[in-house]
Amino acid sequence: NAGVTQTPKFRVLKTGQSMTLLCAQDMNHEYMYWYRQDPGMGLRLIHYSVGEGTTAKGEVPDGYNVSRLKKQNFLLGLESAAPSQTSVYFCASHHRRLSTDTQYFGPGTRLTVL
């Protein structure tokens, strides 16, 4: 198993540009999450999904959209990037039936918006 993978690993955008971050997991997990982490801070939940075709807002959803068209993929979109969205983005997944199983994280995507 590859676990949780994220594409791309690094990206530099100009203000106003758009992009999509891809998260993929091969563990057949129902739950998936997108977080952002700013320097010296904890992770903040952007959006999450409890199954294919469903998404929900987290703590900081503004400026982001997500889609879960396939169970294994969770996409995070920035329609019009702003410098405040410069951050490291982490995706994670979790198996619904195994309540005490671990939440697996991807390696992160480092995004800079100029």
Partner 1 sequence: GESVGLHLPTLSVQEGDNSIINCAYSNSASDYFIWYKQESGKGPQFIIDIRSNMDKRQGQRVTVLLNKTVKHLSLQIAATQPGDSAVYFCAETTGGYQKVTFGTGTKLQVIP
User: Would you count residue 58 as binding partner 1 (CB under 8 A)?
Assistant: yes
User: Would you count residue 77 as binding partner 1 (CB under 8 A)?
Assistant: no
Exposed, middle or buried by CB within 10 Å (0-12, 13-18, 19+), for 86? middle
Span of 9-17, 20-28, 66-74, 102-110 interacting with partner 1 by CB under 8 A: 102-110
Pairing of strands 65-67, 73-78: antiparallel
Token pair for 21: 């971050």
Q: Which of 13, 23, 34, 35 binds partner 1 (CB under 8 A)?
A: 35
User: Would you count residue 107 as binding partner 1 (CB under 8 A)?
Assistant: yes
CA atoms of 89 and 36, how far apart (whole Å): 4
CA atoms of 6 and 27, how far apart (whole Å): 14
Binding site for partner 1 (CB under 8 A): 31, 33, 35, 38-45, 48, 50, 56, 58-59, 83-84, 86, 90, 92, 94, 96, 99-100, 102-108
